[in-house]
Amino acid sequence: MRQLPEADRDAIRIAQDPRFPRWLDQITATGGCSHPVHLSGFTTTLDGTTGEILTHYDTRTEPGERLLVRCRNRRATVCPACSRLHAGDTFHLVRAGLLGGKSVPATVRYRPRLFITLTAPSFGAVHRSGEACRPRRDGGRCEHGRPLGCGTVHAPDAPVVGQPLCADCYDYTAHVLWHAHASKLWDRFVIDVRRRLASSVGLVQSHFAQHARLSFARVAEYQKRAAVHVHAVVRLDGPDGPGDEPPAWGTAELLTDAVRAAAERVLVHTPCSLAVGELALRWGVQLDARTLHAHGDGPDDDAVAAYVAKYVTKGASETGAGTDHPVSTSDDIDSVPVTEHVRTLMRTCWRLGGLPEYEPLRLRAWTHTLGYRGHILTKSRAYSTTYAALRAERALRMGHTDTPDVVTERQWRYVGSGHSPGAALIAAGVADDITESRRLAKEAAKGERGR
- Rounded CA-CA distance 150/171 in Å is 19
439 pLDDT more than 90 = no
Choose among 236, 342, 332, 365: nearest CA to 292: 236
pLDDT for 130-139, tens place per residue? Answer: 889 999 888 8
What angle do the packed helices 172-200 and 340-353 form, to 10 degrees? 80
Specify the DSSP class assigned to residue 379: E
- Rounded CA-CA distance 209/142 in Å is 51
Choose among 392, 355, 321: nearest CA to 102: 392
Report for 78-82, 148-152, 345-349: range of highest mean pLDDT: 345-349
CB 309 within 8 A of CB 91: yes
85 pLDDT more than 80 = yes
pLDDT for 179-229, tens place per residue? Answer: 999 999 999 999 999 999 999 999 999 999 999 999 999 998 898 899 999
CB 339 within 8 A of CB 163: yes
Q: How confident is residue 239, by pLDDT bands cut at 50, 70 and 90?
A: very high
Count Cβ neighbours within 10 Å for each residue of 72-92 and write b for 16 or more, e otherwise: bbbbbbbbbbbbbbbbebbbb
317 pLDDT more than 70 = no
- Rounded CA-CA distance 115/232 in Å is 6
- Looking at residue 296, its pLDDT comes to 58
- Span 93-119, average pLDDT: 92
pLDDT for 266-315, tens place per residue? Answer: 999 999 999 999 999 999 999 999 998 876 555 678 888 887 877 777 65
Which pairing describes strands 53-58 and 113-118: parallel, antiparallel, or unpaired? unpaired
Cross-strand partners of 116: 232, 289
- Looking at residue 25, its pLDDT comes to 95
Choose among 290, 173, 166, 162: nearest CA to 231: 290
- Span 85-108, average pLDDT: 90
CB 322 within 8 A of CB 221: no
In whole numbers, what is the pLDDT of the chain averaged over residues?
90
pLDDT for 373-410, tens place per residue? Answer: 878 889 999 999 988 888 888 877 766 665 667 888 99
CB 228 within 8 A of CB 372: yes
